[in-house]
Amino acid sequence: MIKSIIAAISQNGVIGSKNGIPWNYPDDWKHFRKTTRGYPIIAGRKTYESFQVHPLPGRLNIILSHNTNYQPPGEALVFNDLQLAFDRAEKEGKGKVFILGGAEIYHQTIPICDEMILTFIPKQINGDAFFPHWEPNSWKEISFVRKGELSFKTYRRK
Ligand SMILES: NC(=O)c1ccc[n+]([C@@H]2O[C@H](COP(=O)([O-])OP(=O)(O)OC[C@H]3O[C@@H](n4cnc5c(N)ncnc54)[C@H](OP(=O)(O)O)[C@@H]3O)[C@@H](O)[C@H]2O)c1
């Protein structure tokens, strides 16, 4: 199963602010929905809570929390172990799982994921959640699409 990170990142590395996303780019939302629909997704508890809709429709929503009693809003599965979350996603038989963040989850999964689908926002934006450092030399860019000011890039691990 391909483990694929999907994220949108500002020029200064910001991905979030006050447990939300500090921008609104309809083209990025469309790209996110189209890319992830039909596949299982894994999100950290804070990111899941930040969604306006629970669960994200048309996808198995898997939430990570250390709290084994956590009751998520909406219909979602909760795991307290990343590997168990991946095992459950694999059972869907879709061949791919999308890792939706946030910063804590990206930090743990960049070293083990196969693919990163990143939207680059060419602006300096204030925030308190950042995409972790990643080593560009370890990744091959396999697609690049520009739409307006946004750049959509897909990377595969070399
Ligand atoms: N721009 C983007 O593409 C994008 C995408 C996603 C999120 N975001 C932003 O990122 C920010 C949230 O990121 P964050 O780092 O604060 O939070 P997060 O990664 O969404 O969630 C962190 C929580 O996940 C749980 N967790 C983490 N690792 C775990 C593990 N190994 N096993 C079990 N549970 C685990 C813990 O929940 P408990 O506390 O319940 O134990 C932890 O507090 C928000 O601002 C959000 O909007 C941006």
CATH superfamily, with its number, for domain 2-157: Dihydrofolate Reductase, subunit A (3.40.430.10)
Is pTM beyond 0.95 here?
yes
> Which of 64, 98, 112, 152 best tests ligand 1's pocket when mutated (most atoms within 8 Å of CB)?
64
Domain coordinates of the chain in residue numbers?
A: 2-157
Three-state secondary structure string covering the chain? CEEEEEEEEECCCEEEECCECCCCCHHHHHHHHHHHCCCCEEEEHHHHHHCCCCCCCCCCEEEECCCCCCCCCCCCEEECCHHHHHHHHHHCCCCEEEECCCHHHHHHHCCCCCEEEEEEECCCCCCCEECCCCCHHHEEEEEEEEECCEEEEEEEEC
For residue 83, the CA-to-ligand 1 centroid distance in Å is 16
The residue whose CA has the least distance to atom 1 of ligand 1 is 15
Q: Tens digits of per-residue pLDDT, 69-111?
A: 999 999 999 999 999 999 999 999 999 999 999 999 999 999 9
